[in-house]
Structure 1
Amino acid sequence: MSDTGYCTLEDLRRALQDAELPGDIQQDKQLAVDAITAQTEPLEKSLKRHWYAPAGASILDEAGQIDIPTGPKSRDDEEDIPTSSAFVVDDEGPAPKTSQGSYSKIELARRDADSISKLLVRTEDGSYEDWTTEYEGGLWPDALGDDYYFRVNNGGWSRLYLDTTNLLADGEDNEYVLDSFANAVYVEWSYGHEGIPQNVRRAVAFRAASDFVDEAAVQIPENARVRSVESLADEFERKANKLLEVYQ
């Protein structure tokens, strides 16, 4: 099992101390590691986002037994070309739903698209051609006007745009070579946000603390603000959710 996480054992220690707990996790170190790593993948999937630390980042200095991500991740996705029933071609079926001129927009499954290594688009005979080698494209705005481009907005949401004029039959007006736009695109791409923000580190630490205090049966000091394990775990969860609101 991978011990990959978005925070360190020191972050977890600080989260426990924030609740006036000792923060001593030495005797239950593997439980602490498991608590952190168990929160990392669900966070990426729920927020559709991956963070990584560049070389020299301070988080790497205290990583210890947690494997902090140090680069983008990759995906290999099957996508439909969006269509709209409002547009028909010779009464034979829907045409691509376009936006920004002749471009059809595909919503990618993760934020912070970094690069596209392969873009396979189905052809008339059912085979696929790789647009990254056969056509021109890249990152917006430099690639605007090319055959394809991808854009990441201020919220990190990633969108791939295909120029659907490349799908028109030669010499025919508004007749597309594909009889179906379902599963017409396969895209291999990487994604990730360089730098792990402090609020992400703290949120993962608080969520891990919520698991840890329950699993480790932490002894709560008499002078602690929160006295029961259950209420303490709930408080950690609330703090984590507050920190992550900015990414919703």
Structure 2
Amino acid sequence: MATGYCTLEDVRRALRKASLPGDIGQDKQIAVDAVVAQTEELEKTFSRHWYAPDGADILSEASTIDIPTSPKTRNDEESLPTSGAMAVAAPPTPKLYQGDYTRIDLARRDAKAVQQLLVRDRDGGYTDWIASDEYTGGTWPDALGDDYFLRVNNGGQSALYLDTTNFLEADDDDEFYLDSFVNAVYVTWEYGHEGIPRNVRRAVAFRAGAELVEEAVVEIPQNATVYNVDTKAEKMRNRADELLDVYR
């Protein structure tokens, strides 16, 4: 079943709010496709994923669209950031944040847990810091001081911090064993915000409704106080943007 952040009832309500007929039953699949397309665009635009917990009202209303009910997982190849100013012929050094930690900014907001953390080791291979007993970590602030920790700020921005002292040569505390920090880390992690906010539901519905109006799926009444189709669709998209401002 197609996945989306709103139901067809949400789309009907959005159309009625715009003084348009809410009956889309005869073109249900077109409406579903519009919801799916707008959901995918929203996730990519805001780098976020929302999902509904068990018992959420939206689940009982969704009969045609599959509402997500769990976090998503990503597997990304990451490079360690290096300091901008380096002497000629000098080896690279990692850029530091909060003492000896270097930071990897993750590609999605609302990270929940790191499932696998493959870091290049002295032999040129990769060691999973999660599975290895040699490394400890978790989430901030409890794991501050460990070898790694995951931090998510109030806006959902997510970052993974690694203690760079783990990259020092055993016989020289000032020299790093890595000659390159490019693609030094592979991280598998979960992300997602529990709960689909009403603003998100309505925004997807308005955007989907605007698409239906432009494709003439929804008939505009002759006595409607609207200048043309483009004007009506634009108003719906503007309302969607207003609802989403809080997540930018």
Contact in 1 for aligned 2:24/2:218 (Cα 8 Å): no
Q: What does residue 238 of structure 1 align with?
A: 238
Aligned counterpart, 2:47: 48
Match in the other structure for 2:118: 120
Instruction: Give CA deviations for 1:27-66 in whole Å, capped at 9, x if unaligned.
Output: 1111110110011111101100000000000000101110
Structure-2 residue corresponding to 1:86: 85
Q: Name the CA shift for 1:145/1:225 in 2 (closer, same or farther; >3 Å).
A: farther
Which residue in the other structure is 1:101 paired with? 99
Matches within 5 A, 1:32-43: 32-43=31-42
Secondary structure of residue in 2 paired with 1:119:
strand
2:125 is matched by which residue type in structure 1? Answer: S
Paired amino acid for 1:125 = D
Distance of aligned partners of 1:225 and 1:141 in 2 relative to their CA distance in 1, 3 Å threshold: farther
The amino acid of 1:128's aligned partner reads Y
The alpha carbon displacement at 1:85 in A equals 3.3
**For the residues of structure 1 that align with 2:224 and 2:51, how far apart are their CA atoms?**
35
Task: Specify the alignment match of 1:177 in structure 2.
Answer: 177
Q: Deviations over 1:106-150 (max 9, x none)?
A: 100000001111000001221000011221001111111100001
Partner of 1:211: 211
- Contact in 2 for aligned 1:31/1:215 (Cα 8 Å): no
Is the 8 Å Cα contact of residues 19 and 226 (structure 1) preserved in structure 2? no
SS in 1 for 2:38: helix
For 1:227 and 1:57, how far apart are their aligned partners in 2?
39
1:119 touches 1:186 (CA, 8 Å); kept in 2?
yes
In the alignment, is the contact (CA less than 8 A) between 2:92 and 2:179 conserved in 1?
no
Rounded Cα–Cα distance in structure 2 between residues aligned with 1:133 and 1:219: 58
Matching residue of 1:141: 141
1:189 is displaced (CA, Å) by 0.3
Picking from 104, 127, 130, the partner of 2:128 is 130
Q: Match of 1:196, as an amino acid?
A: I
User: What is the Cα deviation at residue 243 of structure 1?
Assistant: 0.8
Aligned AA (1:231): T
Counterparts of 1:227 and 1:91 in 2: how far apart (Å)? 67
Aligned to 2:74: 75
1:114 counterpart SS class = strand
The offset of 1:217, in angstroms, is 3.9
Q: Give, as a single letter, the amino acid of the residue that structure 1 aligns with 2:83.
A: S
Distance in 1 between residues matched to 2:120 and 2:221, nearest whole Å:
64
Contact 1:19 1:225 in 2 (8 A): no
Cα distance in structure 2, aligned partners of 1:225 and 1:161: 56
- Distance in 1, Cα, partners of 2:185 & 2:48: 22
CA–CA separation in structure 2 for the residues paired with 1:225 and 1:56: 40
Q: Which runs of 5+ in 2 are unaligned?
A: none
SS across alignment from 2:175: coil
Distance 2:27 2:100 in 1: 58
Give the letter aligned to residue 82 of structure 1. P
Identity, % of aligned pairs? 63
Task: Say what the alpha-carbon RMSD is for the aligned residues.
Answer: 1.3
Secondary structure of 2:176's partner? coil
Deviation, 1:220, is 1.3
| Residue identity matched to 1:214 | E
**Paired residue for 1:9?**
8
> Which runs of 5 or more structure 1 residues have no equivalent in the other structure?
none
